[in-house]
Amino acid sequence: MSKFNNVYSVSVDVDQYLLLQTTVLDQILDKENDSIYVFDGVSKKDTWKKQSVEWMIISNDENDGLTEPDIAGWGSTMFAVPENIADTLKKQLNDCCEFLPIRLNEQTWFALHIIGKQNAMDPELTIINMRNGRPSRTRKFKQLVLKKSEIKVNGPFRVDGAGLTTYCTDEKGGFYDTVKKQGLLGLVFSKVTLS
């Protein structure tokens, strides 16, 4: 069993750092070849074709002051890192992540594809955010509570029933610990309630 005190939801700091997007050419080729990837926790390593990405430029005003992060957001659910950071993270995360190669300006980066899920949601204490009689699509939970005893990994993970949000523990040598010790920029860690 993992030894940790806290669990965090992990998101990208979009107010300070640039995001990645698939290049237009790769988007067209993927659509034509019907090979658009869905990052759903099922292994992609055997079918993966290296993608080309670029920094997302919205407008000069909106990107003014944004810098390149150490860990970037790619799309709405993926994180990506340059090769040197991937080498550091692989030591801790090989059991829970696939490092899928992508290309950014002729440099090799890696997408962190989180595989597997934890069945850790506490249904008795979690409060669903209802809108018009259905769970909200934009903010599913008023309060999400995870069962500490059900979390078995020290790397990034997803939770059954909690959508595509990424979580991690503060276990020594894990994802959160490594990011903090290495001073890697680009992510926001928000503490989650545990039972």
Q: pLDDT tens, 88-143? A: 999 888 788 999 999 999 999 999 999 878 999 999 999 888 888 887 777 888 89
Amino acid at residue number 120: A
Burial of 192 by CB count in 10 Å (0-12 exposed, 13-18 middle, 19+ buried)?
Answer: buried
Q: pLDDT (tens digit, 9 = 90+) per residue, 31-53? A: 445 555 667 777 788 888 888 89
pLDDT of residue 36: 55
Higher pLDDT, 154 or 69: 69
Task: Give the residue among 120, 105, 100, 114 at the shortest CA–CA distance from 49.
Answer: 100
Query: With pLDDT > 70 as the criterion, what percentage of the chain qualifies?
Result: 88
Bridge partners (DSSP) listed for residue 62: none
Which tokens sit at 84?
């040197």
Cα→Cα distances 59→19, 75, 89, 139, 143, Å: 13, 18, 33, 27, 35
Structure tokens given for 48: 């993966």
How far, in Å, CA of 163 to CA of 182, rounded? 29
Return the CA Rg of the chain. 17
Closest CA to 76 of 190, 173, 165: 165
Quickly list DSSP for 81-146: EEHHHHHHHHHHHTTTEEEEEEEETTEEEEEEEE--EE--B-TTT-EE-EETTEE-SS--EEE-EE
pLDDT of residue 130: 83
pTM of the model: 0.86
Residues 6 or more apart in contact with residue 110 via CB below 8 angstroms: 80, 81, 82, 83, 86, 99, 100, 101, 102
Q: Of 82, 93, 155, 88, nearest to 118 (Cα)?
A: 155
Amino acid code (one letter) for 85: I
